Amino acid sequence: MTAEPLRTSDGTALRVETQPSLPGLGGLYARGAAASGRIAAGRALPALPVIGAGRSASDTEHDGGPLTLPDVAYRVAGVTTTGLARHLHEYQRLLHEPVADVLPAGYLHVLAFPLATAVMVRGDFPLPLLGMVHLRNAVELRGPVRMGDVLEVRAWAENLRPHRRGVQVDLVAEIRRDGAGPEERAVWRGVSTYLAKGFSLPDAPAVDDESRPEWHLPLPTGRWALGPGTGRAYGAVSGDRNPIHLSALSAKAFGFPRAIAHGMYTAARALADVGHQRGDAYRWTVEFGKPVLLPGTVDLAVTQEEDGFAYVGWNGRRRQKHFSGTVTPL
Amino acid sequence: MATRQKTSAPAAGGTAAQPQGVRDAVIVGGNRIPFSRAGKRYADASNQEMFTAALEGLVARFGLQGERLGEVVGGAVLKHSRDFNLIRESVLGSSLSPATPAFDLQQACATGLEATINIANKIRLGQIESGVAGGSDTVSDAPIAVSEGLRRALLEAQHAKTWQARAKALAAIRPGDLKPLVPATDEPRTGLSMGEHQAVTTARWGIAREAQDEVALASHQHLAAAWESGFFDDLVTPFRGVTRDDNLRADTSLEKLASLKPVFGRSLETTPTMTAGNSTPLTDGASTVLLGSREWAESHDLPVLARFVDAETAAVDFVHGHEGLLMAPVHAVPRLLARTGLTLDDIDFFEIHEAFASTVLTTLAAWEDPDYCRDELGLDGAFGTVDRAKINVNGSSLAAGHPFAATGGRIVATAAKLVAQRAAETGRPARALISVCAAGGLGATAVVESV
Amino acid sequence: MTDRYTQAVNSGFTKTLAKKLGLPRPAILRRYRAGDPLAVGPVLVVSDGASQKDADVLAQALLAWDVDVRRQPTDDVRWGAVLLVVTEAETPTDLAEPVLAVGSVLRRLAPNGRVVTVSRAPAEGDSPALSATRNGVDGFLRSLAKELRAGATGNGVVLTDGAAVGAGSTLATVRFFLSAKSAYVDGQLLRVGPAEPTGADLTTDRPLAGKVAVVTGAARGIGASIAQTLARDGATVVCVDVPAAGEGLSRTANDVGGTALQLDVTADDAGTRILAHARERHGALDIVVHNAGILRDKLLANMKPAQWEAVVAVNLAAQLRINETLLAAGLDGLHIVSLASTSGIAGNKGQSNYAFSKAGVIGHTRATASLLAAQGGTANAVAPGFIETDMTSSIPFAIREVARRLPTLAQGGRPVDVAEAIAFLASPAAAGVNGQVLRVCGQHMVGQ
């Protein structure tokens, strides 16, 4: 089943391939998502480079040819949210969101994430899922999505481009209210940018090393004491059971001294920290820095800017930035 | 000195203004048990035992056995669910008439002062003739909660109709859920402890370590002198063999204080300044204050120390750091003084709760900062300078300790006795300003005046 | 509170055993309970011929108190008490007949019975024979008391300065000795002068109604018991103790419905503050009981200055200073009762400081008595012997046992026994008792 072709932000036309349901979202979400995570991991693992180890220069070309993204967008329509109350409330409690029947932007990311994952685990996706580093994320929520709304989710990959340490790619997901016309904008749109280290693009312009300006620790407005189970808890709610988040042992296999917190967990908690002043519609961005080792303490500063809020999370003892971002009411 | 006066009511010679149509509420006296550092002598004393002891001492001091008081109000910040009626249960265990009504109230560290405000207001309105305000707190006997996961599973199992459902609910318990949760003084919304919050405020106002240590030293020296002079002989009743506040270090010195390692603000970029010496320790204790109408006090041949003039509470937006967590009293006091027609110059005693030495210092610094007073307090300029010699003259929480809900009662009784003594010495009315900061960005302030 | 030995020899198998072994068998003493009869049986009133009239006066008074009064010794009665009236006896030979009459009923004296003598004190100018007769009663009574058994006691009322037998204070003292309130008072002669109480009801259960009393050292032990007893008798009690004893003090104050005043009696302004508290809070001050006291036992050879000075400061100097303030205030009808001690009378090794202070108390009591008399007040002292308290329970067992068995009553007293004596001395009816020291010691062998 196909639908109208879809154009990416640089104008590339994509086939729209309609899936019967969100991967892992039939029935009990959590269980399904877990399975999806496992499948994804299973397919991607054999080809995985160990994070941080990189690839040798001779490995940098995929199948000997230039890297290209799948020319397909996945679409799932008729996604019902009525049965999600328990799962939603679990998410809200975990992320310190108020428990309510409005779906926070982070929760919508969790809903759409498996479809984006499905794009990434396609055989023709040029980069390995588990080796990729989540660099940044940008979300726009253009209005409240409530429990009971029936949704349509789309996901695709675009904008493959060089990075000083490899190549980066945007995974775009959009959520529309079901029955919205093709011209109607998505109510939620998320762009997740991933880095695949050690890959390169032919004819790519050299990327300058970003010289980082010296960073001064702000005065914290909050502090998170993250327990060792933080990654498992978010993994259970989000379905993202990447082993680097689950335990020290599994994380060590990928070169981390301990388990690390999900980037989206930290971003979503910062979003929750902004509170109700963000309103029903907002733009929410995050840029990830040093991973948050678990258990660990994150100092946080949320500051009110002219048009919204800026936030930054860091490790006060090591003086390392973990993430920073903005929440801008629309 | 004090520069601002919004209303024209002259105060220095006369008495502070108060709303029309209400009568005076007077402070008869107070009683507390000595405060004791957490985990020491009161380690197995419950809030109810401590509050009952404080109440019994008050009853004994003023001969209130069998008396039906208008109301007893108080609370505890760290409270067991079994203590839902903590104050009423304490009344029932006391020598007061069992027909004395009571209720629990809680406003974090301002609980004791808020309870006093409540009793005073009821008296001023004529709803009651007499009442006791107070509070109790124990860190040693604090409630320990089960984890959220265990709690939910247990509740679900309890609600389950069938054994299968019950078993299923219980099966959801994870080993990690069995770890108990001990109460923390972290702000729920920020996750920062009160000390860390104050470390941020301290850094923002650039309060020096030495200045904080000086405040701590003065607190210990003043409290020790007050004990020596017998000031607390009719304000404190020993409990469990403790006869004096056991956090008091009469022999401390700037050198000793300077040798302590900072405990808060260590992950800030600025040099940390807050130590265990210039921060209040966790403490157990309870306090009470007896208030009444003038007529009630007179008809019971009871002394009157002071008039409870007026009170003001405030709250600040601290969540994203716009204002410091403990800065609410800074906002409340100018409003309170404006309403009562007083200026800082009209105050003889400043009782500023020493949550931390730097709380006192940031409060003073804020009032002296014209930009801050304009932008944040809506004043025309700096609120004014407080004569340091008038602050916490008989010591405060740094030396006495700070059993959260019990601090208000300690301060109100102390302030009332101070103004009574001063007025007796000089023949002129004396006033004390009370300022208590509290968790949640709250603050309660009050003025008492000699009669 | 009754010690285990006393319990054992008064019940069951151990009672029989003790009897057979001839062990001392201390009795379980009868103590005052409101509503109980004054005496445990009929009261025999005997006198010499010359004292017949006084005997009649006393018999009339007893009848008015609903006592079964008899004038003839018979052997069909279990006597509750014997009242020996020898007020008008003039020669030693006058005593033979009434004394032997008393002797004839002693075997039939009920447990907790009483022998009370009423006599007159020798005075300046008495003839040698009269003086001998009157002083003889002293030795007679003390010896008689020692032969009484089963909790019975012997005490004497000694009238001075022409006090009448029918006077209120005489009757009140007779009544006190007859009653269970004097359970641990034994072998004592109390002098009663002519000062007449005004409006005192001798039979009331609340003789101190409307009175305001101050008790120092009230946090525990004897002090707490004094507060309770004074309150039971109707007084409003201001309970005083050092701030450090405040926890017990508030318990006492709440028990007795009084007020707690945390105060160190050695403070310069202690008297002023006590007076101010009593007047401002209770409108008057009628009774002051100087009970606060401390021990710092040490042989004089090893005594440190602080040990001497502290004991004298608390036990003696504080009382003097407070009394000065009270005297200067010119209170009407003030009754001061001070705690002395048998150590202050007979001496005790290792207690030179304590005995000095307690003998000093006896001294200042006598001197203060005449100062207070002018305004209808009295000053008296009570000298407790071995009293069962927290303090004495810490004495090693063997020494404690010896101390317990030494008195005629062969047991320690209770705090309430001291308190009863104080309540009596503080009562308006005891107006004629002034400058006296009443021992509450179960007739301890030491001293007078």
**Are A10 and A158 in a shared domain?**
yes
Inside any domain, residue C239:
yes
Residues of C in contact with B237 (CB under 8 A): 246-247, 249-250, 260, 262
**Are C219 and C336 in a shared domain?**
yes
- B192 and chain A: CB distance < 8 Å anywhere? yes
- A86 and chain B: CB distance < 8 Å anywhere? no
pLDDT given at position B20: 66
**Confidence bin at A61 (pLDDT 50/70/90):** very low
pLDDT given at position A208: 61
**Are A303 and A184 in a shared domain?**
no
**Are A184 and A252 in a shared domain?**
no
Tell me: pLDDT of C378 over 80: yes
**Are C260 and C367 in a shared domain?**
yes
**Confidence bin at A29 (pLDDT 50/70/90):** very low
Inside any domain, residue A104:
yes
Grouped pLDDT means (10 residues each) for chain B, 451 residues: 42 62 93 94 93 98 97 93 93 97 96 98 96 93 72 80 82 71 76 93 96 97 97 96 95 96 92 94 95 97 97 95 95 97 97 97 97 96 96 97 96 98 96 96 97 93
Please answer yes or no on whether B321 and A301 come within 8 Å at the CB atom: yes
Residues of C in contact with B290 (CB under 8 A): none
Please answer yes or no on whether B192 and A221 come within 8 Å at the CB atom: yes
Please answer yes or no on whether B196 and A221 come within 8 Å at the CB atom: no
**Are A183 and A228 in a shared domain?**
no
Mean per-residue pLDDT for C388-409? 79
**Nearest residue of chain A to residue B321 (CA atoms):** A221
CA distance A2 to chain B (A): 43
Inside any domain, residue A191:
yes
CA distance B319 to chain A (A): 7
Residues C141, C348, C414, CA angle at the centre, nearest 5°?
A: 60
Q: What is the pLDDT of residues C55-85, one digit of tens each?
A: 999 999 999 999 999 998 888 889 999 999 9
Residues of B in contact with A301 (CB under 8 A): 321
User: Which candidate, B113, B138, B122, places its Cα nearest to that of B285?
Assistant: B138
Inside any domain, residue C206:
no
As a whole number of angstroms, the distance between CA B100 and CA B77 comes to 23
Q: C389 CB contacts (<8 Å, ≥6 apart)?
A: C221, C222, C415
**Are A227 and A157 in a shared domain?**
no
**Are C66 and C168 in a shared domain?**
yes
Tell me: pLDDT of A37 over 80: no
**Are C81 and C9 in a shared domain?**
no
As a whole number of angstroms, the distance between CA C57 and CA C43 comes to 14
**Confidence bin at A60 (pLDDT 50/70/90):** very low
pLDDT given at position C2: 65
Provide the H-helix boundaries in B144-278: 148-159, 163-171, 194-205, 209-228, 254-258
User: Which candidate, C410, C407, C440, places its Cα nearest to that of C423?
Assistant: C440
pLDDT given at position A28: 30
Q: Partners for B (CB, 8 Å, 3+ pairs)?
A: A, C
pLDDT given at position A44: 38
Query: Lowest-pLDDT range, B9-13, B374-378, C293-297, C305-309?
Result: B9-13
**Are A148 and A278 in a shared domain?**
no
Instruction: Report percent pLDDT > 70 for chain A.
Output: 82
CATH classification of the domain holding A233: 3.10.129.10
**Are A271 and A319 in a shared domain?**
yes
DSSP state letter for A276: G
**Confidence bin at C386 (pLDDT 50/70/90):** confident
Which has more pLDDT, A183 or C158? C158
DSSP state letter for B181: B
- Note whether B touches C: 3 CB pairs or more under 8 A: yes
Look up the domain containing C19 and give its range.
1-30
* Residues of C catalogued as catalytic: 354
What amino acid is encoded at C174 in this protein?
A: V
Inside any domain, residue C199:
no
Inside any domain, residue A216:
no
What is the average pLDDT score of chain C? 90
Mean per-residue pLDDT for C311-334? 94
Task: State the DSSP string of A7-73.
Answer: E-TT--EEEEEEESS-TT-SSSHHHHHHHHHHHHHHHHGGGPPPTTT---GGG-SBTTB-----SEE
Q: Which helix (H) or strand (E) holds C82?
A: strand C79-85
**Are A228 and A131 in a shared domain?**
no
**Interface test with chain A among B178, B179, B190, by most A beta carbons within 10 Å:** B190
Q: B443 CB contacts (<8 Å, ≥6 apart)?
A: B110, B313, B314, B315, B316, B326, B327, B328, B329, B330, B331, B332, B435, B436, B437
- A98 and chain B: CB distance < 8 Å anywhere? no
Please, which residues bridge with residue A140 across strands? A189, A283
Please answer yes or no on whether B63 and C262 come within 8 Å at the CB atom: no
Out of B60, B230, B302, the one facing C260 most closely (by C-beta) is B60
Q: Which helix (H) or strand (E) holds C144?
A: helix C128-147
Instruction: Tell me which of C163, C192, C221 is where a domain ends.
Output: C192
Residues of A in contact with B269 (CB under 8 A): 216-217, 319
Judged by CB atoms within 8 Å, which residues 275-294 of C form the interface with B? 280-283
**Are A284 and A176 in a shared domain?**
no
**Are C178 and C222 in a shared domain?**
no
Inside any domain, residue C357:
yes
Number of structural domains (chain C) is: 3
Mean per-residue pLDDT for C408-418? 88
- A276 and chain B: CB distance < 8 Å anywhere? no
User: Which candidate, C439, C378, C330, places its Cα nearest to that of C193?
Assistant: C378
Inside any domain, residue A211:
no
pLDDT given at position B390: 97
pLDDT given at position C406: 79
**Confidence bin at C446 (pLDDT 50/70/90):** low
**Interface test with chain C among B42, B50, B231, B233, by most C beta carbons within 10 Å:** B233
CA distance B417 to chain C (A): 16
Residue C424 vs residues B51, C169, C415: alpha-carbon distances, Å: 38, 10, 14
Q: Is the peptide bond before A20 cis (omega within 30 degrees of 0)?
A: no
Q: What is the pLDDT of residues A205-246, one digit of tens each?
A: 666 656 667 788 899 999 999 999 999 999 989 888 888 898
What amino acid is encoded at A117 in this protein?
A: T
pLDDT given at position B2: 42
Inside any domain, residue C205:
no
CB atoms within 10 A of CB C300: 13
**Are A45 and A177 in a shared domain?**
yes
Phi, psi angles (nearest 5°) of residue B314:
-145, 165
- C228 and chain B: CB distance < 8 Å anywhere? no
Tell me: pLDDT of A31 over 90: no
- B268 and chain A: CB distance < 8 Å anywhere? yes
CA distance A274 to chain B (A): 8
Tell me, what's the ipTM? Answer: 0.87
pLDDT given at position C21: 65
**Confidence bin at A54 (pLDDT 50/70/90):** very low
Q: What is the pLDDT of residues C103-114, one digit of tens each?
A: 999 999 999 999
Look up the domain containing A132 and give its range.
2-197
**Are C246 and C130 in a shared domain?**
no
CA distance A218 to chain B (A): 8
Q: How far is CA B245 from the centre of its chain?
A: 16
Give me A127's structure tokens. Answer: 């980069």
Residues of B in contact with A316 (CB under 8 A): 266-268
Phi, psi angles (nearest 5°) of residue B178:
-80, -10
Tell me: pLDDT of A55 over 60: no
What is the average pLDDT score of chain A? 83
**Nearest residue of chain B to residue C236 (CA atoms):** B63
Residues C180, C185, C186, CA angle at the centre, nearest 5°?
A: 115
Please answer yes or no on whether B60 and C239 come within 8 Å at the CB atom: yes
Inside any domain, residue C445:
no
